[in-house]
Structure 1
Amino acid sequence: MKGKGKKLRKREKAMESGSVEDVLRIDVQNLIVSLNQDNDGVAEGENAAPELETENLPEPGTEIDVKVVELSSTGDGLALHEGSKRVYVVPFSIPGDTVKVKIFRHVLDESYSIADFISVVTPSELRDDSRIGCKYFGKCSGCQFQMMDYSEQLKHKKRIVEKAFRHFSQLPPELIPAIQDTIGSPLQYGYRTKLTPHFDGPPSWRKNREPFTSRPPIGFMLKGTHQTLDIEDCPIGTDVVRLGMKNERARMEVEYGNYTRGATILLRESTRRIPKNESRPSSSPKARSKSPSPLPPDNAAVKVETESYTDVKTCVTSNTATSTEYVGPYVFYNPAGSFFQNNNSILPVFTDYVRQHILPPPSSPSSSPSSSQPIKYLVDAYSGSGLFTITLSSLFSGGSVGIDISDASIKYATENAAANDLPLSRVRFIAADAKDLFTPAIRRAYPGDQTAVVIDPPRKGCDQDFLSQLLRFAPRRVVYVSCNVHTQARDIGVLVRGLEGEGSKGTRYSIESIRGFDFFPQTGHVEGVAVLNRVDE
């Protein structure tokens, strides 16, 4: 038994990392396998190594026409040149397009090449350039899909999730439920509450340390380069973030001479809510007893009116300042430069979905005596400033705990619990490294049979130590939230297979549901939510 556990752990360490390179390589390989099947009528197997085509490749800098046949999970088009099976990776393209491209680089140990988009020769039926809402689209590296109908974007993101679990989970198809439709964002433009444009230092700034002699380009990366594209306005930003971008560019017109190196500019929306049945403004329930600070001038704020309140939105540019954000009836304070979801329009829908699925359905059958006990406790791993701990806390009669490695996050999470009138007897937060998450004290206070766990790790996903701890803790139910569905699929594969030995109890999980959420319309990114149940045998 112990030997089997070691073999499983060795296999998990050899799994794909879920990086952009991994995802692109697998998409290219599977496209080539599909093309070979179509041409030869012989199935080569999903993991068959494609035959490398390295002779007679066009020189870098050559312009050719290619036909786009598929969208990769990275958001780039996968295209073919007439008479060749080599795949060309082309940004800003859509299946059915014939586009003119310039060869940038051949990846010689794989069967694909990177190309720069030049122009559309023949548009796809799916393409409508009148949808494009930004004059920098096709150059800026931020968006990929502005020419695509939003319903098609959501279909593509569903396919991204499907492919992620097919290729990264290492699970047989029968253990993966049908992927549900992707939940769309209420806003497709004007949704980003945080942007971070930047500017590069002067030439030879490391050696000379001389200030700028004119304002540098301020914006985002030119696609496929390390060059900064000067961008006056970004229409996916909220109104006040766009206003902040305009004001920061105006400031730099005056202050560029103070800089001898490049920098990143923070633009973060912050909200002060003024109830219409109260005479003075407040930014939170807790703050109503404090003397309010003056409202900002109109040229530095955007007002949003509802029947119950006025939201005065400002743009915070200091990383150490505090931003305020409302998610439904809840208020959250954060260091402005720290992570918090950047699309507030979808957050109430998103947190409500997790709230509806963190507990088993009332009709869920009990498969063992242990699962007949009600779930009374919540453990929120990677809790940050308390988004899930706070929005889910009312469901758990025994209490909720949020755990995060950052002391600053724990401090803000504790303040956010108080701001939402949640006593420490119901909600508490602990600073701990992920590898030391489920301590004996946590296991005693939160019995696995009566506990649900929500996981929201960074893009790299969970490491093996964390997953092993989770399997030993053996909570009844797990909701795994992720901004990288490929590492999510990899980790969930570990939980479904389980690990034998070393006190893991042979615990494993089944997948109840998987679906995507579109936090970033016009881009290739999709957030995943998977619900898992412990298998009691």
Structure 2
Amino acid sequence: MVQKNEILELEIVDITEEGNGVAKHDGFAVFIPNTAVGDRAQVRIVKVLSSYAFGRVERLISPSKDRTDPGCAVFGRCGGCTLRHIGYETELQLKYKWVANHLRRIGGIEVVPEPILHTGRTAGYRNKAQYPVRVEDGRVMTGFFAKRSHRIAASDLCDLQPALFEDILKEIRTFAEKQKIPVYDEQTHRGCLRHIYLRLAEKTGQVMVCLVLSGKGMPKEKLLVKRLTARFPQIHSIMVNVNQKKTNVILGDSCRTIYGADYIVDELCGVKLCLSPLTFYQVNRDAAELLYRQAQEYAQLTGEETLLDLYCGAGSIGLSMAHRVKKLIGVEVVEAAVENARQNAKLNGIGNARFFCADASSAAKRLAEEGTKPDVVIVDPPRKGCDKSVIESIVRMAPKRVVMISCNSATAARDCRAFEEMGYQVIKARPVDLFPRTGHVECVVLLTKTEK
């Protein structure tokens, strides 16, 4: 056992998905943030648990060859990037290993994943940013939440965001300060301006500004609109989102347009998509195209299939494949997303798609009653993965192929194991890096129905 405040000389031998380096002391694991494999350091133990401990670097004795300059003033304090201190090629190798290990250890799957896909672009790739707003020492501050807290790591510029976001953010913050706009306080629940939410449609260049307020309006809204639109002609929509709940959830349920349209339009895989503040959309457009094209390749579409897109959201995945199938059916539990998907199908003149609101079990029952049997199912669940009832519903529909897209390879591996226990086999898998410099990685998996 190690002791709290003990200082040890340790060598980093691995990195976790949270970005913590892993060292061993007499077989006891110690996790140390902001370290790289190969680092040797004097480490102070700051927390000891029954089977592992946490430490922090007191002095770096010899740096790893993988180390690089993070190039960010708030690295280590901001809760976003966890891998900025290592080279990108090393990051890709780590992410590939994480996916492969999850499939093997959690899923019991021996398929060797295909090489990781990525665009090579590690800066300015995010098309969406949500900035908390606070008052500190009498100044209006914006930035990003520090790790595991609601303290703001104040920063205007993030290397992952477009430079334009920095300029718009500064303009709004300066306006709020000069006009004495009341800023929301999480402790007292007083004030108005909670978050600033920016969205960019990269293909069209259209920008949406969304002000998240604790009330239905903000003082001097029209003056702010005038200021923003005069300086930034790229802005096509300015919205207000109302969140009056005492919660750390950023967005409320209702939106109001105070300038322009209530959406902006982007294009992904040749499909035009309307994006509202509440629309789910991949934050890395170029990498999402790689992801969806890989999913389409795994789906092996010939033009004769009925394709079911579960968790379809605004329809982006299914609509990108509509031209390769006979019929597209999209299912989503959020009614607003279903309406958005129908709008997107109409916008693109896609006539072989229909979308309805239901959970997976209800959808399976409805399709069975209609006599509709999908040949291929695309499933893109949230981070928690698929409920067992969802997997059972898919299996009852007996598609020839299931293509799973996942932002969490651990839950994907668990779900693949459940599919294999119910008559499907994992044939291929591939990691795709949608979130460079962070600990997140997507993966695509192909499962086929086994012959009995």
Report the TM range for the smaller structure's normalisation. 0.7 to 0.9
The offset of 1:389, in angstroms, is: 1.5
Structure 2 SS opposite 1:183: coil
Structure 2: which amino acid aligns with 1:521? P
Query: Residue 132 of structure 2 corresponds to which residue in structure 1?
Result: 198
Unaligned runs of 5+ in 1: 1-52, 203-211, 275-280, 284-293, 302-311, 363-373, 499-507
Judging changes above 3 Å, is the alpha-carbon distance between structure 1 residues 226 and 297 closer, same or farther for their aligned structure 2 residues? closer
Question: In proportion to residue count, which structure has more strand?
Answer: 2
Aligned residues: CA RMSD: 2.7
Aligned residue runs from structure 1 range 35-434, under 5 A: 53=1, 57-59=2-4, 64-81=8-25, 84-108=26-50, 111-117=51-57, 120-129=60-69, 132-169=70-107, 171=108, 175-199=109-133, 214-223=138-147, 225-254=149-178, 257-262=181-186, 263-270=194-201, 273=204, 297=229, 299-301=231-233, 312=234, 318-319=240-241, 320=255, 321-359=262-300, 376-397=305-326, 399-423=327-351, 426-434=352-360
In the alignment, the residues of structure 2 paired with residue 119 and residue 250 of structure 1 have an alpha-carbon distance, to the nearest angstrom, of 40
Q: Distance in 1 between matches of 2:180 and 2:441?
A: 37
The one-letter amino acid of 2:363's match is: L
Structure 2 unmatched ranges of 5 or more: 187-193, 209-225, 242-254, 256-261
Q: Look up the SS of the partner of 1:413 in the other structure.
A: helix
In structure 2, what is the Cα distance between the partners aligned to 1:118 and 1:144?
19
Amino acid at match of 2:45: I
CA apart distance, 1:353:
1.7
- Shift, 1:442, TM fit: 4.8
**Higher Rg of the two aligned structures:** 1
Does structure 2 conserve the Cα–Cα contact (< 8 Å) formed by 1:136 and 1:231?
Answer: yes
Most deviating of 465-474 and 234-243: 234-243
Alignment of 1:13-32 (within 5 A): none
**Against the structure 1 CA distance between its residues 221 and 79, is the aligned structure 2 distance closer, same or farther, given a 3 Å change threshold?**
farther
Q: TM-score, normalised by structure 1?
A: 0.70
Secondary structure of residue in 2 paired with 1:246: helix
Q: Which deviations, in whole Å up to 9, do the C-alpha atoms of 1:357-382 show, x marking residues without a partner?
A: 2126x8xxxxxxxxxxx852000000
Distance 1:78 1:256 in 2: 47
How far does residue 101 in structure 1 lie from its aligned partner after superposition? 4.1
Q: Residue 444 and residue 67 in structure 1: after superposition, are their counterparts in 2 closer, same or farther (change >3 A)?
A: same
Deviation of 1:387 after TM superposition, in Å, equals 0.7
CA gap 1:85/1:272 in 2 versus in 1, 3 angstroms: closer
CA distance in structure 2 between the partners assigned to 1:452 and 1:483 by the alignment: 20
Would you say the 8 A contact 1:379–1:401 is kept in 2?
A: yes
Give the drift of 1:214.
1.4
How many pairs align?
407
Identity of aligned residues (%): 24
Distance change >3 Å, CA 519–CA 123, structure 1 → 2 = same
Using the TM superposition, give the Cα deviation of residue 146 of structure 1 relative to its aligned residue in structure 2, in angstroms: 1.6
Tell me the secondary structure at the aligned position of residue 138 of structure 2.
Answer: coil
| Cα distance between partner residues in 2 of 1:434 and 1:95 | 43
Q: Distance in 2 between matches of 1:226 and 1:352?
A: 37
- Cα shift readout 1:313-364 (whole Å, capped 9, x = no counterpart): 768664434232211421111222432110012122222222222126x8xx
For normalisation by structure 2, the TM-score amounts to 0.82
**CA-to-partner distance for each residue in 1:39-74, whole Å, 9 max, x for gaps?**
xxxxxxxxxxxxxx3xxx332x55554321111233
SS at match of 1:511: strand
Distance in structure 2 (CA, Å) of the matches to 1:225 and 1:119: 26
Partner of 2:435: 520
CA contact (8 A) 1:240 1:269 kept: no
